[in-house]
């Protein structure tokens, strides 16, 4: 099974609309892969999903269920080796999960991360590229 890091932007989009490309990515990844998270990446996802701007799209209960399901089936990765290589320092946490968790790929819509593909033998791909790989 592939070991994957999925960026917050993809997970938020998946939570908002399950039938979207990010939603299909998360469904496929859950079926075929091991999802990796650090405390930092999970905290960011929780913080973003708690924002009231999403109340009109998905209920707080649905967001809580989404988070609980992700946490229950994902592998927590301790951050032992730090990374300071991304053009946007707040994205280094995803590289850290990939490095410490021996990830095969990072799935993201973030241009700063996508420009780094490949990074230390870790593929950094968009949600569309991920789906194309499995269709």
User: Across residues 112-130, what is the average pLDDT?
Assistant: 96
Query: Across the beta sheet with 2-6, what order do the strands follow?
Result: 75-76, 33-37, 2-6, 105-107, 123-125
- Which residues constitute the domain of residue 112? 2-134
| Matching residue, tokens 């593929």 | 123
- Residue 135: which pLDDT band, with cuts at 50, 70 and 90? low
Domain count, the chain: 1
- The structure's pTM equals 0.94
Q: What's the CATH number where 13 sits?
A: 3.40.50.1010
**Structure-block tokens of residue 103:** 């990830």
Segment 71-92, tens digit of pLDDT: 999 999 999 999 999 999 999 9
pLDDT value at 42 more than 90: yes
């Amino acid at each position: 099974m592939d070991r994957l890091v999925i960026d917050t932007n993809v997970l938020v989009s998946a939570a908002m609309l399950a039938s979207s490309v990010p939603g299909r990515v998360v469904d496929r990844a859950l079926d075929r892969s091991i999802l990796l998270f650090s405390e930092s990446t999970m905290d960011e996802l929780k913080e973003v999903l708690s924002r009231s701007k999403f109340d009109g799209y998905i209920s707080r209960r649905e967001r809580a269920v989404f988070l609980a399901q992700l946490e229950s089936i994902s592998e927590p990765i301790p951050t032992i080796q730090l990374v300071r290589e991304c053009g946007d320092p707040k994205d280094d946490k995803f590289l850290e999960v990939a490095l410490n968790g021996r990830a095969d790929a990072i799935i993201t819509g973030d241009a700063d991360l996508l420009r780094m593909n490949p990074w230390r033998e870790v593929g950094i791909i968009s949600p569309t590229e991920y789906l194309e790989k499995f269709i």
